[in-house]
Amino acid sequence: MAVLRRTARAYGAMMAMVPKLFMAYQIWVWMQFIVQIISLVILVSFWSAVYAGESSLSGLTLAQTLNYIILAQIFAPSTDTNMVFELGYMVRSGQIGMRLIQPLDLQLALYVQKVSEIALAFVFNLPLALIGWLLFRYHVPADPLVWLAFLVSLLIGNALLFCFDWILACASFYSTEVWGMGMLRYGVALFFSGALVPLAMMPGWLRTISTILPFSQALYTPVSLLSGITPLSGMPRIWLAQLAALVALGALSRFTFSRAVRQVTVQGG
């Protein structure tokens, strides 16, 4: 029990660091807010113009699409699980050695850190949610069950994307030039997560790719529940699929990491 409490405190201390780091950059938070408002106005104007002559596209009305797009903007930080730069930096600077001798599981520790960063990003998006609502009156469900379904799906989806990103990041043990991969991952995620376009609008082959790739699990799948694109009745099947992917990616990520870490010990640093 005491061990558990101590472990919890250790992870808790790491979590507490995150908001302090954020507040150190207050002016950056404000900038982020204005940048988001700009992109929100662009998205809404764009979609309104798209729907000018149509009542529905791919089965979605303008109201549904806007609802989805605005919510997706608010919850977009869920896909910020890219670990390539962090792990790459640790490997290059040799910090990885220090981190590995800490009495924490590195993957779990960094996951906790990422999740707290993302949770905090959601908090910082609250003003955006408010302004967005004042400007565009998007609709959020009143049914707590929908919220629960959404939160569970978001949590699982985010965790499985983290595992996927962890596998990618392990490449930094083998090559110092992972920067390009990190940028590529960012671009691919932007498109396939559903942050810009609801996946329902994509042509069949692109939809297939986006279902295979894990990015949509952290954003499109939960947000489409919240915005009403996916009915609550589809929930059990989605949860199951997400859980299965999480287990598979989780196991694979642990295996990959344990292999990659050997690279460090072999090279001695």
Partner 1 sequence: MIRYLVLYWTFFKQRIKVLMEYRVNFLIGASSTLFVQAASILSIWVVMRQVPTLNGWAMAEIWLVYGLLMLSKSINHMFADNLWTLGWDYVRTGNFDRLLVRPIDPLFHLLADRFCHDGIGHFVTGLILVVVSLVQLNVVVTPLKVIYMIITVVSGGAIFIALNLITGVSGFWVMDSTPVIRVVFEMHEFAKFPLSIYPKAISAVLTFLIPYGLASFYPASYVLGRDVPPTLALATPVVAALLVFISYRVWLFGLRHYSSTGS
- Binding footprint of partner 1 on the chain (CB under 8 A): 27-28, 30-31, 34-35, 38-39, 41-42, 45-46, 48-50, 52-54, 57-58, 177, 179-180, 183-184, 186-188, 190-191, 196-197, 201-203, 206
Contact 138, 67 (CB under 8 A): yes
Cβ-proximal residues to 236 (8 Å cutoff; 6+ apart), any chain: none
To partner 1, the closest distance from the beta carbon of 205 in angstroms equals 12
Nearer CB in complex with partner 1: 60/146: 60
Contact 157, 78 (CB under 8 A): yes
Nearer CB in complex with partner 1: 144/180: 180
Partners of residue 56 on adjacent β-strands: 61
Cβ-proximal residues to 13 (8 Å cutoff; 6+ apart), any chain: none
To partner 1, the closest distance from the beta carbon of 82 in angstroms equals 13
To partner 1, the closest distance from the beta carbon of 1 in angstroms equals 46
39-43-45 Cα angle (round to 5): 115
To partner 1, the closest distance from the beta carbon of 67 in angstroms equals 16
Rounded to whole angstroms, the Cα distance separating 60 from 86 reads 39
For the chain, how far is it from start to end, CA to CA, in angstroms? Answer: 35
Nearer CB in complex with partner 1: 207/254: 207
Nearer CB in complex with partner 1: 47/173: 47
Nearer CB in complex with partner 1: 194/222: 194
To partner 1, the closest distance from the beta carbon of 193 in angstroms equals 10
To partner 1, the closest distance from the beta carbon of 64 in angstroms equals 14
Is 156 exposed, middle or buried, given 0-12, 13-18 or 19+ CB atoms closer than 10 A? buried
Nearer CB in complex with partner 1: 203/269: 203
Q: How far is CA 184 from CA 82, 179, 188, 255, in A?
A: 11, 9, 6, 24
